[in-house]
Structure 1
Amino acid sequence: MKCLPSSKLPLAHGNILHDWHAEIVAIRAFNRYLVEECADLAASGLRSSAFLRHREEAEITRAEHQPFTFKESVQIHMYSSEAPCGDASMELVMDAQDDATPWPVPPPSSQDLEHPPTGLRGRANFSLLGHVRFKPSRTDAPPTLSKSCTDKLALAQTTSLLSSVTSLLVSPRNAYLSTLVLPASHHVPSAITRAFGPSGRMAGITPEMTSRWETGGSGYRFQPFEVRPVNQEFAYSRRSVEPSQTPVPSNISAVYTPKFQETLIGGVLQGRKQYDPRGASRICRKSTWKAVADLAAVLAVPALLGIGRALQYQDAKNLDLLDWRSAVKADVKGQDGPLKGWPENKGDDCFRLE
């Protein structure tokens, strides 16, 4: 199922990935790569890399306080060999059924179909479109509150691809996804427009919201990405196997950046037990937070001093420096926002750095 059951979150202590679907692993690896790129810039004394640069003192404001930013010429592109799970792939789920009639759903007790329960699980209620969905899709798997890859990518159109702790170092201004590339066989235009487009469910982002974000000068905005279909299939996709072969999913996740490589199983390093702290990946919560805290101490930027001394991870995520990011998320996930029905996946935020 490639995500951690809600009941197991208190046992993670920041060392286990909550979600290791490929899109999420890629984004987490991207964030850790950026932190290490910032560390290399600080250690070398260089003013810029191929992608990042130091921000000048005159650029630093209370709202946009980060010491680094992407170069203005840089664009970020993402390729996925399958349509992201969740709302962007619901038509594909329906088409894959022998009988495309929506699965029977017990009548709601207090809400009608226009007001479904908070969040929908996996592929259940697949006739309901445009809603936040949880992983996994299998009904016999332990429940989680990990949101679908579609929902997380939709949110990233407002918060950027940066995680909360990475955004303490790097400005979100130029950190938005430009293009999502999908195989044509998994590109359903109506689903893509509904899931991600400004005329789909993201139309719920009002001019008042965007004006408030942009007036604050924090670098946050609504930046829809373009979705481009390509005819070439990934060599190991389900559609690339011979008719006589049966594709088998793998429980292994391969992580690669120019700075490090890892192999993960169950959200931890291959060969380690899931709850062994020695199995912590470089892209897990605790490892990334520690890398940011260590670099903040080296940079000695007044605004960042003390982030490593926060008693718990939840304290680091609630720093005043993240107020603008929190405000954007509150607007988008609130009752009047386009991603309403997004409960927080709580239970793994009370750990500390050793």
Structure 2
Amino acid sequence: MDTGDVIAKAVLDNFNTWERKRKPLDRSAQKDGKSHEKERPREWVPLSGIVAQKNDKITCIASATGMKCLSRDKVPKAQGIVVHDWHAEILAIRSLNRFLLEECLDLAMSRKAFSEYVRFRGPEERTKTHFQPFALQDDISLHMYCSEAPCGDASMEITIAAQEDSTPWQEPSPLPKTNTDMPALHGRGYFSALGAVRRKPSRPDAPPTLSKSCSDKISAKQATSLLSSIASLLISPQNCYIQSLTLPEPQYSQVACTRAFSSSGRLAPLDGRNWGDGYSFKPFTIHTTSREFIHSRRQPLGPREVLVPSNIASLWTPRTSETIIGGTQQGRKQFSIKGASSVCKRRTWLLAVSIADALCSSSPAILRSLKVDRYAEVKSGDLLRKRKEVKNNVRDTLKGWQRNDDAEEWACSGVEA
């Protein structure tokens, strides 16, 4: 079996074990007495997953569905409680971070040397600048699967080909500007501007957002690793990079993926970069698969059935599962503390504080960096200086990256980790 098929199978088989309530609704079966006269909706949603490979064993350790994000005008209300971006790819990455931190907490509490996925780093491995107490197990590699081409640059050729008229749209004059010399492109507009950073969502009539496309965020992960800022305070980024990305054959454009992700495309200035302290530019390989997700846009439809997007997002790890609507746990009011997702910024911060507390005096600098009043202070701390350098280099390379960090002046309170 091809590598891409093996990786896809691991994620798809995992999805099949999910509870029914966490999956897209099959509304095509609903009847109202006149169903024979009506179009019958069938929901679709992207699925993404991250698998761990150890020797010949491949295991799904994080997966998610979802396709929406928080509009820019609502970001100040989020306060670290509401997830900003719940596209499947991003939710899967956030779920991976949650899972790895929970593994770290178990080790910190038990004082065991290692778990199946995470281990303590020895004193000889840790330096003043490469200080993290934990690392992913050395014999594990991480791989990602996406049921749809990531939104943004990696999907542009596929999007263009799907139009009735594939002639590139003319760019308006003047173009919208960011603080760089490139435009901040909205979703899938301006087809002629290939290689550009794009914002979610793709619909031109949707409320604006500063959330970058999945193509752009995955591109950046080739330099920063899959770890979030919080997780990178505790786990070495050195081998937390994805080794490969698997896409269904109809969703793979070699031209688009080479341009979006490879060292011969728009990331060429980063080729060979090694920032030290576990950070380097590690481009991934791309595999394709003939396997299809049952809830993809390419699912076969019956008579009068029409595809409609699912409004729910779900996440899974070996430790947790959760359904999200509007960035909040299903059944809870948006922006309610009780609705805080397990992968939201506030609960992730609290989890990291719990780990640092459990480490007692062995990592005082990490504890000081985490035990501050506001989330913005964590992000601006000295221990994240190297990561910020890497991110800035990525932003300078991916022209048009407009920052979305204007709502981080909130405190770590009111929720449990």
State the partner residue of 2:326: 266
Structure 2, unmatched stretches of 5+, are: 1-66
Describe how 1:131-280 pairs up with structure 2 within 5 A. 131-205=196-270, 210-211=273-274, 213-214=275-276, 218-242=277-301, 244=303, 245-280=305-340
Q: What does the per-residue CA deviation read over 1:169-213, in whole Å, with 9 as the maximum and x for residues that have no partner? A: 100001000111100010000100000001000102265xx24x1
Match of 1:73 in 2: 139
Aligned match of 2:158: 92
Note the C-alpha offset of 1:348. 2.2
* CA distance in structure 2 between the aligned counterparts of 1:311 and 1:116, rounded to whole angstroms: 36
- C-alpha distance in structure 2 between counterparts of 1:353 and 1:93, whole Å: 41
TM-score (norm 1): 0.93
Distance 2:175 2:364 in 1: 54
The separation in 2 between residues aligned to 1:269 and 1:316, in whole angstroms, is: 25
8 Å contact from structure 2 (residues 263, 271) kept in 1: no
2:386 pairs with 1:311: no
Residues 294 and 308 in structure 1, CA contact (< 8 A), matched pair in contact too: no
Matched, 1:60 2:120: no
Q: What is the TM-score normalised by the length of structure 2?
A: 0.79
Shift of 1:49: 1.1
Once residues 78 and 125 of structure 2 are traced to their aligned partners in structure 1, the CA distance between those partners, rounded to angstroms, is: 39
Q: CA deviation at 1:241?
A: 2.1
SS in 2 for 1:201: coil
Return the alpha-carbon distance in structure 2 between the equivalents of residues 243 and 198 of structure 1: 43
- Is 1:348 equivalent to 2:413 in the alignment? no
Contact 1:5 1:142 in 2 (8 A): yes
Alpha-carbon distance, 1:297 to partner:
1.2
Give the secondary structure class of the aligned counterpart of 1:58.
Answer: coil
RMSD of aligned C-alpha atoms? 1.5
1:247 shift after superposition: 1.9
Match of 2:93 in 1: 27
* Contact 1:308/1:353 (8 A) holds in 2: no
Aligned to 2:279, the other structure's residue is in SS state coil
The 1:134–1:152 alpha-carbon spacing in structure 2 relative to 1, beyond 3 Å, is same
For residue 330 of structure 1, report the CA deviation from its aligned partner. 1.0
2:346 maps to what in 1? 286
The one-letter code of the counterpart of 1:234 is F
CA distance in structure 1 between the aligned counterparts of 2:100 and 2:117, rounded to whole angstroms? 9
Dislocated runs of 4+, deviation >4 Å: none
CA contact (8 A) 1:65 1:303 kept: no
Q: Does the CA contact (< 8 Å) of 2:132 and 2:236 recur in 1?
A: yes
Tell me the secondary structure at the aligned position of residue 107 of structure 1: coil
Instruction: Indicate the structure with greater strand content.
Output: 2
Write the distance in 1 (CA, Å) between the matches of 2:265 and 2:133: 35
Find 1:330's aligned residue among 392, 398, 411.
392
SS at match of 2:323: strand
1:43 is paired with a residue whose SS is: helix
Q: CA deviation at 1:71?
A: 1.4
Q: CA deviation at 1:5?
A: 1.2
Unaligned runs of at least 5 residues, structure 1 = none
Deviations 1:123-145 (A, max 9, x none): 11012100100001111111010
Provide the aligned length of Structure 1 versus Structure 2. 341
Question: Residue 271 of structure 2 contacts residue 281 of structure 2 at CA under 8 Å; is this kept in 1?
Answer: no
CA shift, 1:108, in A, is 2.5
| Distance in 2 separating the partners of 1:47 and 1:295 | 15
311-320 or 299-308, larger mean C-alpha shift: 299-308
